[in-house]
Structure 1
Amino acid sequence: MRLAIFSLLVVLLATYAMAVAPQKSVIVSYPDNTPDSVLSKAKQAVVEAGGVITHEYKIIKAFACNAPAAILETVQAWGSQYNAVVEEDSMVHAYDDNN
């Protein structure tokens, strides 16, 4: 009996681990002439896919998020008409750390 319960738990855990897609931290940006509806649709798709919007930029049409790679490809394809750019979010320095 214990072996059956343990086996069931292992199978459930393995199923859960495979269902959780790895998240990427990215910035999705659009040109200024892009309609707000396109940006809203992209953000909604990210959230529905299990992603999280971490920042919404006000000066430019862009948002930062953690999302599964598959939905990011979809968002970029939707925004191809508006030249959407999906780039990895990373630290940028204005000076050289080696000096």
Structure 2
Amino acid sequence: MKFTLSFLLLALFAALCLAAAPQKQVIISYPEDTPQYILDQAKAEIIKAGGMVEHEFSLIKGFVAKLSTKAMETVQALGSSNGVLIEEDQTVHTT
């Protein structure tokens, strides 16, 4: 009985881990002439999909977000006519 309960709990935990969509941290930027409502729409879609906006830039039109692949595809489609650029957030090294 004890073994069965442990096994069921382990199976439930594994299923929950696999069900959660993996998220990536990315930088999303737009050309300077992009209307603000486009950025607002993209941020709303990210939040609606369970992601989060981590940081908003003031010098460029863009932000850092943690989002799923599906949300990334939605943002890409919304900004395709505005030249959206989505790149993985990573450390830059110089030599």
Structure 1 unaligned segments of length 5 or more: list them: none
RMSD across aligned positions (CA): 1.6
User: Percent identity among equivalent residues?
Assistant: 42
Runs of 4+ in 1 over 2 A off after TM superposition: 1-8
- Counterpart for residue 25 of structure 1: 25
TM-score normalized by the length of structure 1? 0.83
Q: Which residue of 2 aligns with 1:75?
A: 75
Q: Establish whether residue 62 from structure 1 lines up as the match of residue 31 from structure 2.
A: no
Q: Deviations over 1:49-81 (max 9, x none)?
A: 222211101121100011112211110111001
Alpha-carbon offset, residue 20 of structure 1: 1.2
**CA distance in structure 1 between the partners assigned to 2:48 and 2:5 by the alignment:** 33
**Cα deviation 1:5-57 (Å, max 9, x = unaligned):** 33331232122111212111110011112111111111111122222211101
The size of the alignment, in residue pairs, is: 95
